Amino acid sequence: MSDRHAGGGALSTARSIGVQTVGTFEAALNPVTERDREYRRILVLCAPFMMLMFVAGIYPLSEVVRISLSTAQYRSVGLSLDAYATLFGDSYYRRVAFNSLWLAAGTTLVSVGLAVPIAHALEKYDLPGEDFLVTLVSFPISLPGIVAAFMILVLFGNNGLVTAVLAALSGSQPLDIAFAVSVPGLFIAFVYSMVPRATLILRGTYAEVDTAAEEAAQSLGATPFETFRYVTLPQIRPGITGAIILTFRTGLAIFGTLIVIQTLVVWTLQISRELGPGYNVQVAGAMATVYFLFTFLFTVLGLRYTSAEVGI
């Protein structure tokens, strides 16, 4: 009897939610009160986003998941977990995942570490030619990854400008100094693309810093470093967390740079290889699915941490 009442209660609750939803849509379509008009404005504003989310998000993601579970190469047929067993059971793919994580994490720490003093200088000091400096800092965002990689080759390649200067100063051969197509060259290319993103986020955070608290600390004898550590840093910490989230996701998603500097196999490059000669579509779909789930969960946890810091 209790189970029957429980089932009836759940059914009643579901019906109540359905009735409320239908009532909300009817009120939005035929508004009478100001609250109904507000519902209509919300629906109109959300409609383009919902369409974009379905066309560019939900539908292609569902197709990728179906492909990863298919038993056929070019059709969604049957159900198989072989692609996921390959990903988690093959040491090669575990090494690719490790490469992706350490490269993204390392470049994120360096990029955010560089972005903090850059944003601090841009916001706290009246620098000459500040508009030009801001343009220079943000310029790499407009460059495709292939162009950024090409710039690394121009600077640090066998015939690169920096390589030639260092070779002339040290008396060494350019081939012994060039490192553009090595892991350090790839690392620098990633940092070059990620520093501007972190800097722009932190500039917005610095705009919200309580300057009166900083001035009070300095008037009490605090040094500039102590003021930054104990007054400024706690206020910009949510921005630093947001910059870490964005740059880490960027590091995982970079692909154009890897096409030119293929010195390290990471997740995105391996997906491209799976779709090349041989067409291992199921493994590519499984890799794309795992990538989405990882970045989604990382973003959710990071945003919750940021919200908790803001709440504090």
Report if residue 33 sits inside a domain: no
pLDDT at residue 24 in the model? 55
Report if residue 118 sits inside a domain: yes
Q: How confident is the model at residue 27 (pLDDT cuts 50, 70, 90)?
A: low
Q: What is the 3-state secondary structure (H, E, C) of 162-196?
A: HHHHHHHHHCCCHHHHCCCCCHHHHHHHHHHHHHH
% of the chain surpassing 90 pLDDT: 19
Radius of gyration of the chain (CA): 26
Report if residue 23 sits inside a domain: no
Here the CATH number for the domain that contains residue 159 is 1.10.3720.10
pLDDT digits (tens, 9 = 90+) for 261-284: 888 899 999 988 888 777 788 888
- pTM > 0.85: no
Report if residue 291 sits inside a domain: yes
Q: Is the pLDDT assigned to residue 28 strictly greater than 60?
A: no
pLDDT at residue 108 in the model? 95
pLDDT at residue 121 in the model? 87
Instruction: Give me the number of domains the chain comprises.
Output: 1
Q: What is the mean pLDDT of residues 16-20?
A: 48
Residue pair 157/202 in contact (Cβ under 8 Å)? The answer is: no
Q: Is the pLDDT assigned to residue 74 strictly greater than 70?
A: no
- Closest Cα partner for 140 from 181, 197, 179? 197
% of the chain surpassing 70 pLDDT: 86
Report if residue 125 sits inside a domain: yes
Residue pair 189/261 in contact (Cβ under 8 Å)? The answer is: yes
pLDDT digits (tens, 9 = 90+) for 86-129: 899 889 999 999 999 999 999 999 999 999 999 988 888 887 88
Report if residue 70 sits inside a domain: no
Q: What is the mean pLDDT of residues 7-19?
A: 49
Q: How confident is the model at residue 19 (pLDDT cuts 50, 70, 90)?
A: very low
User: Which residue has better confidence, 8 or 75?
Assistant: 75
Q: Is the pLDDT assigned to residue 36 strictly greater than 90?
A: no
Q: What is the mean pLDDT of residues 74-96?
A: 85
Query: 45 — alpha (psi -120 to 50), left (phi > 0) or beta?
Result: alpha
Least confident of 8-17, 185-194, 260-269, 272-281: 8-17
Three-state secondary-structure class, residue 108: helix
Report if residue 113 sits inside a domain: yes
Note the Cα 69 to chain centre separation in Å. Answer: 27
Among 2-11, 184-193, 270-279, which range has the highest average pLDDT? 184-193
Q: What value does the mean pLDDT of the chain take?
A: 82
- What does the DSSP 8-state code read for residue 25? H
Q: How confident is the model at residue 25 (pLDDT cuts 50, 70, 90)?
A: low
Least confident of 74-88, 157-171, 287-301: 74-88
pLDDT at residue 100 in the model? 94
Range of the domain at 143: 82-311
Least confident of 25-39, 40-54, 282-296: 25-39
Report if residue 74 sits inside a domain: no
Tokens at 167, concatenated = 């070779």
- Distances, alpha carbon 122 to alpha carbons 119, 142, 237, 302, in Å: 5, 20, 18, 26
- What element of type H or E holds 297? helix 281-311
* Distance separating alpha carbons of residues 87 and 91, to the nearest angstrom: 8
